[in-house]
């Protein structure tokens, strides 16, 4: 509590010295939508002591009406001033992420942040800290108001293009500055392969901090896009003929200051621990796909996207594999990591990273064996060829993913019964709503029969 109190005192002092009038308290629902409660700064001290009460039954998946009272408890370590108000504005606002608790102070089983914290604590029991660095792709489009039609991208650029016309550079540049101003280190930014597609890469951080940072990045990018009279979308595949948006995530486990994935005597500098972690990801990949790729649209990217993994494979520098082991700086211990390539940009990062970490830890604890790496371009293989080579296919639609998910003991254990059951119901409902529609393609192809 001593450390916590000092953090609280720092926040209270900063709020007073900076003349901050309002605090946004942030948390997410189970599907990853950002929720916000705005409070006057004069209420902050009591919020640290008692939290802020809210009606949990009004947040999808949080609680039943009979258990509606919930508490948002601000985490002072996440305090940052939002970058959109001038310093001399009377409306300067800050934000803090919250942990959601029950009225008696126990963590809420419905809070995605608590789900991830349980896995962080579980890793810590084995002496591990999980570090993550994501590559976050998104599209800039002229408007989101398309009445169900494809949006119009803001530019016609391609991979790493440096164009003289508007190509999202202003949005990327302003977003990076705003993100950095909030204490989130940005590593790279560039135009991606498709018209309007952008990428921002965040420097590695512990997994809980990174999940907070991803939620912050989404908010900032959307705000900056609006200020530039365009819109940002993190939809996995908004364009029929263009690449989907992934969130390739580089993961490693550290034991103190030592990278547990590094072995200088191994051919690719990958330790037994790293291999077992990969094996855990691969064995449980089909059952956690419903979380890492949570939307009906996510499977359009997996089935028809560029370099999106279709099977539970790993490879050395192989960009068609689900898990890629990069070969940059092989002998630099802190750089040894594995890149998870199935996860898409519309994931709830708390739940997505919780299931990836949970699966990897299970592989380590139970000593899973890792098969030989895939050397083929997996995307070019037929289903029969993949089966003949012993590769396990990933689900090809949300229905298949949910059938794998609902039978998984590991997913129920990692997510907790409440989140697991709600997630299952919500996603089956999404699938059934998708199935019941009559699409223009069906009418064009069958109406005249």
Phi, psi of 30 (to 5 degrees): -65, -30
- What is the rounded CA–CA span in Å between residue 270 and residue 6? 40
pLDDT in tens, 255-311: 999 999 999 999 999 999 999 999 999 999 999 999 999 999 999 999 886 678 889
Q: Confidence class of residue 332 from pLDDT cuts 50, 70 and 90?
A: confident
3-state secondary structure of 399: helix
138 three-class SS: strand
The predicted structure's pLDDT at residue 412: 97
Mean pLDDT in residue range 20-34: 92
Number of neighbouring beta carbons within 10 Å of residue 174: 18
SS3 108: coil
Lowest mean pLDDT among 116-130, 156-170, 188-202, 336-350: 156-170
Fold of 118-122+131-253+260-443: Creatine Kinase; Chain A, domain 2 (3.30.590)
Q: Over range 233-245, report the average pLDDT.
A: 94
* Cβ atoms 214, 206 nearer than 8 A: no
* Mean pLDDT score, 418-442: 95
- Rounded distance, CA 43 to CA 24, Å? 12
Strands 93-101 and 22-28: parallel
Overall average pLDDT of the 91-114 stretch: 90
Report which secondary-structure segment, H or E, holds 101.
strand 93-101
**164: pLDDT strictly greater than 80:** no
Indicate the pLDDT class of residue 2, thresholds 50, 70 and 90.
very low
Burial of 205 per CB tally in 10 Å (0-12, 13-18, 19+)? middle
Kindly report whether the global pTM for this prediction surpasses the value 0.85: yes
Residue 333's pLDDT is 81
The model's confidence at residue 189, banded by pLDDT at 50, 70 and 90, is confident
Topology (CATH level 3) of domain 2-109 = Ubiquitin-like (UB roll) (3.10.20)
Q: How does pLDDT run across 432-445, given as a tens digit for each residue?
A: 999 999 999 999 99
Which of the four pLDDT bands, split at 50, 70 and 90, describes residue 322?
very high
Q: Among 81-90, 122-131, 250-259, which is the least confidently predicted range?
A: 81-90
Q: Hunting for tokens 């950002």 — which residue is that? A: 34
Q: What is the mean pLDDT of the chain?
A: 89
Average pLDDT over residues 417-424: 94
179 neighbors 190 (Cβ within 8 angstroms): no
Q: What Rg do the C-alpha atoms of the chain give, in angstroms?
A: 22
Q: What number of other Cβ atoms are within 10 A of residue 439's Cβ?
A: 9
User: Is the model's pLDDT at 191 over the cut of 60?
Assistant: yes
Handedness of CA 379, 380, 383, 387 (dihedral sign): negative
Sign of the alpha-carbon dihedral angle for 436, 437, 442, 446:
positive
The model's pLDDT over 284-293, given as tens digits with 9 standing for 90+, comes to: 999 999 999 9
Give the pLDDT score at 337.
Answer: 94
Handedness of CA 350, 356, 360, 363 (dihedral sign): positive
Task: Locate the domains of the chain by residue range.
Answer: 2-109, 118-122+131-253+260-443
| pLDDT grade for 381, boundaries at 50, 70 and 90 | confident
């Amino acid at each position: 509590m001593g450390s916590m109190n000092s953090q609280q005192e720092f926040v209270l002092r900063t709020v007073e010295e900076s003349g901050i009038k309002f605090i946004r308290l942030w948390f997410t629902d189970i599907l990853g939508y950002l929720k916000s409660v705005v409070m006057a700064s004069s209420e902050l001290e009591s919020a640290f002591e008692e939290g802020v009460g809210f009606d949990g039954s009004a947040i999808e998946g949080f609680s039943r009406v009979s258990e509606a009272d919930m508490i948002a408890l601000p985490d002072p370590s996440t305090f940052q001033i939002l970058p959109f108000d001038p310093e001399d504005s009377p409306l300067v606002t800050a934000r803090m992420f919250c942990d959601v608790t029950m009225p008696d102070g126990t963590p809420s089983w419905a809070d995605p942040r608590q789900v991830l914290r349980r896995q962080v604590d579980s890793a810590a029991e084995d002496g591990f800290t999980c570090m993550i660095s994501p590559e976050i792709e998104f599209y800039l489009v002229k408007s989101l108001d398309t009445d169900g039609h494809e949006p119009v991208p803001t530019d016609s650029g391609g991979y790493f293009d440096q164009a003289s016309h508007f190509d999202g550079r202003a949005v990327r540049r302003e977003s990076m500055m705003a993100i950095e101003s909030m204490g989130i280190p940005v590593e790279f930014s560039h135009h991606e392969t498709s018209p309007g597609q952008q990428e921002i890469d965040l420097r590695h951080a512990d997994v809980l901090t990174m999940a907070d940072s991803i939620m912050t990045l989404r908010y900032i990018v959307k705000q900056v896009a609006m200020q530039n009279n365009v819109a940002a979308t993190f939809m996995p595949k908004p364009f029929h003929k263009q690449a989907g948006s992934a969130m390739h995530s580089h993961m490693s486990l550290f034991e103190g200051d030592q990278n547990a994935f590094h072995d200088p005597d191994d051919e690719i500098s990958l330790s037994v621990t790293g291999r077992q972690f990969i094996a855990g990801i691969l064995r449980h990949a089909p059952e956690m796909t419903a979380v890492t790729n949570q939307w009906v649209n996510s499977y359009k990217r997996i089935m028809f996207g560029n370099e999106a993994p279709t099977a539970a494979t790993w490879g050395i520098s192989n960009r068609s594999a689900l898990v890629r082991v990069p070969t940059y700086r092989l002998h630099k211990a802190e750089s040894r990591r594995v890149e998870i390539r199935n996860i898409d940009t519309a994931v709830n990062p708390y739940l997505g990273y919780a299931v990836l970490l949970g699966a990897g830890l299970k592989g380590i604890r139970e000593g899973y064996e890792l098969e030989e790496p895939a050397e083929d371009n997996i995307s070019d293989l037929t289903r029969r060829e993949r089966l003949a080579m012993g590769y396990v296919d990933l689900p090809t639609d949300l229905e298949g993913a949910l059938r794998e998910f609902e039978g998984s003991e590991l997913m129920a254990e990692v997510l907790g019964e409440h989140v697991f059951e709600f997630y299952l119901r919500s996603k089956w409902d999404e699938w059934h709503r998708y199935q019941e529609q009559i699409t223009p393609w069906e009418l064009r192809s069958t109406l005249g029969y």
